[in-house]
Amino acid sequence: MRSVAEGDRTARAVIRDEALRLFAVRGPEGVTVRQIAEAAGVSAALVVHHFGSKDGLRQEVDQYVLDVFEGMLGELAGEDGARLVEPGASSGLLSEVFGRYLPEGSPLPGYLRRLLLGDSEAGRKVFQRLFELSRGALDGLVAGGVAVAGRDAEVRAAFLLANDLAVFLLRDRIAETLGVDPLSGDGMARWGAEMLSVYAGGLRASPPEGPAAGPS
C-alpha cells in the first residue's frame, strides 16, 4: 500500500484515474471505495484522507473531465483552432489535440457517455459547463475572424457541442460501422477531414485533396 508520505499528489492522481476508469465501466453507484483503493494500490483510508468520501472523489473526477474538455476546446478556439477551419486545412492538428488529451485506451469518453446519458444533477452540471465552454470556443473563433455567430449564437454553440459529443456517445457504434475508432489517430484523420469540410463549406464542400482514408 502507498502511504501519504510517498507523495500526496501522485497518490491522489492515481486514485482519481482509477476511479475514473472504474466509474466508466460500472458507473459510480456500482463501485465501492474499497474497490477503488485496491485498483489504485492504496488503502481505503487514504482514499478518504484525500477526498473525504466517494462523493468527494466523484466530484473531483467530474472536474477532471471538465478540465480535459476545457483544454481541448481552448486549443481549438485559439490560434491552432483558427488554422483548422482555413480552406485546405488538414485534420492532423485535430487528431493531435484529441490524441494528446485522450490517449488510446482513455476511460474518459466512456465516463462522459455514462454521465451525460444518466439522469443526475452531476450530468446536468457537466453538460451546462460544456455548453459554456463551447460558447466560449465559438466566441473565440468569431473574434479571430474565422467563424460567425449566426442568427442565434447559443443554438450554434449547442449544435457544435452536440456534434462533438456525438463522437463520444456513439463511439462504439461508429467504430463498428467504419471499422476504425473515431477517436484514434487513424479515425480522426478520416472523421476530422469530413467534419472540417462540412463546417467550412456545408454538405456541398469536398474535403482537402489527399490519400483515400477509407473504403469507397
pLDDT in tens, 175-184: 999 999 988 8
Cell numbers at 79, concatenated: 490560434
Q: Are 110 and 28 in contact (CB under 8 A)?
A: no
User: In the prediction, which pLDDT does 86 show?
Assistant: 53
Q: Say if residues 109 and 165 touch (Cβ distance below 8 Å).
A: no
**Mean pLDDT computed over 153-167:** 90
**Cβ atoms of residues 75 and 173 within 8 Å:** no
Mean of per-residue pLDDT scores for the chain: 81
Residue 145: CA count within 13 A, CB half-sphere: 0
Beta strands in the chain (DSSP E): none
Residue type, position 127, single letter: F
Q: Does domain 1-52 have CATH number 1.10.10.60?
A: yes
Terminal alpha carbon distance of the chain: 54
Position 158 scores a pLDDT of 93
- Domain locations in the chain as residue ranges: 1-52, 55-201
Q: Answer yes or no: are the C-beta atoms of 71 and 30 closer than 8 Å.
A: no
pLDDT band at 7 (very low <50, low <70, confident <90, very high): very low
According to DSSP, residue 102 is labeled S
Residue 131 has pLDDT above 70, yes or no: yes
Q: How far apart are CA 194 and CA 207, in angstroms?
A: 6
Higher pLDDT: 38 or 216? It is 38
The answer to pTM > 0.75 is no
The better pLDDT of the pair 82, 174 is held by: 174
CB 175 within 8 A of CB 110: no
Q: What CA–CA distance (Å, rounded) separates 120 from 112? A: 12
- Express each pLDDT in 8-38 by its tens digit: 457 999 999 999 999 999 999 999 999 999 9
**In sequence order, what are the residues at sequence separation of 6 or more whose Cβ sits closer than 8 angstroms to the Cβ of residue 79?**
144
CB 87 within 8 A of CB 77: no
